[in-house]
Homo-oligomer: A and B are copies of this chain.
Amino acid sequence: MPEQSPGSRPTLEAVAARAGVSRATASRVVNGGAGVRQPLVDKVLRAVDELGYVPNHAARTLVTRRTGAVAVIIAEPEIRIFSDPFFSQQIRGISKELTAHDTQLVLLLLEGPGDFGRIARYLAGGHVDGALAFSLHIDDPLPAIIRRSGTPTVYGGRPSWTSAPGDQGVPYVDADNRGGARAAVQYLRDLGRERIAHIAGPPDQTSSTDRLDGYRDVLLDADPSLITEGEFTVDSGARAMRELLDRRPDLDAVFAANDLMASGALRVLRERGISVPGEVALVGFDDMESIAEDTDPPLTTIRQDVEGQGRLMARLLLRGLDKDSAEARSPASVITPTTLVRRASA
């Protein structure tokens, strides 16, 4: 590829001239070459090569009305999940899928409430063809903004305003949280455990409530004293475990809503000299890479394919954007399966 003297890249016009064809034909070739005779295709391609031609994106967007870019929107409370392996995997999946479709990833980080206006303007400005947003908390203003802008969007994680999984017209991708939780609790029960406690996540996230629902699916008559709440962090898991132990010293199993909390719980269990899984069996959720395998004992947990979820989000969006495809404008939501991974903690 020839070096470019700054500010003067060759245009399609130049390519056409060099190849001895019209701009239209050159354009056709550059865009796949359908319906152009082979000799001409070759000529144009050669010219492209010799000139080091690269299409001007702005000009193309101006006429096609497609930007070839997708926004990934991360709301403020979620910003810390940047340092969450969870999120990084999801992003990676998204990136891979977008890249495979020659689509750019524009990262939109909301730093504070004042940023909503900026996002609204950005989306309204048609800078991107669509957006990917992450599971929001109750009363998050973002969905409204997104909807108003008319930007096709796929959510990651079931949005809290959809009343039930699979519900509504909002497309989203989520793990089968409820089913996974059910499997976890059922597994503990099959082990013969009778007093299975649950450390739930924050009640304003659907991943928490769905997992709690799964727990209840199996333990219809679950004693409320067996249920506590954490914030999906190690420390909150430890605190929850202490609470649980104080209230119900007789418990013989714990299902924690994520691995982080499970590892906190494990710490407390060990501190108190309670054997795992001997006296108390423990199951986590997520199968987080750097956590589940490294605890002592390693965690039995529910695995979900996070990177795959990212890919799926992107794929769903892209498919929805592709007018050729027969799909409706709003692709349906997808619930990805979970699997129980047996390790040593239960």
Contacts and interface: CB of A to CB of B under 8 A. Distances in A.
Interface of A: 1, 3-4, 6-7, 9, 52, 54-59, 61-62, 65, 67, 69, 72, 79-80, 82-85, 88, 91-92, 95-96, 99, 104-109, 111, 115, 118, 120-122, 124-127, 148-150, 290
A58 B54 contact: no
Nearest to A3: B148
Nearest to A71: B104
Contacts of A54: 121, 124-126
Contacts of A118: 99
Nearest to A4: B150
A148 B54 CA distance: 14
Given A54-B121, A61-B58, A62-B59, A105 B104 contact: no
- Sort A-B residue pairs by CB-CB distance and give the 4 closest, nearest first: A82-B88, A58-B61, A58-B62, A83-B85
Nearest to A128: B104
Given A56-B126, A106-B105, A115-B99, A92 B79 contact: yes
B62 A7 contact: no
Contact of A57 (B59, B126, B290): B126
A107 B109 contact: no
A54 B120 CA distance: 11
Contacts of A148: 1, 3
Contacts of A91: 82, 107, 109
Nearest to A7: B65
A139 to B, nearest CB: 21
A165 to B, nearest CB: 28
Contacts of A69: 106
Nearest to A82: B88
Nearest to A115: B99
A97 B194 CA distance: 55
A120 B56 CA distance: 15
A268 B81 CA distance: 30
B7 A55 contact: no
25 contacts: A3-B150, A4-B149, A4-B150, A9-B124, A54-B124, A54-B126, A56-B62, A57-B61, A58-B59, A58-B67, A59-B62, A72-B107, A79-B88, A82-B82, A82-B92, A83-B85, A83-B290, A91-B109, A92-B109, A95-B109, A96-B111, A99-B109, A99-B118, A104-B106, A106-B106
Contacts of A106: 69, 104-107
A111 B99 contact: yes
A113 to B, nearest CB: 14
A12 to B, nearest CB: 13
A120 B58 contact: no
Contacts of A65: 7
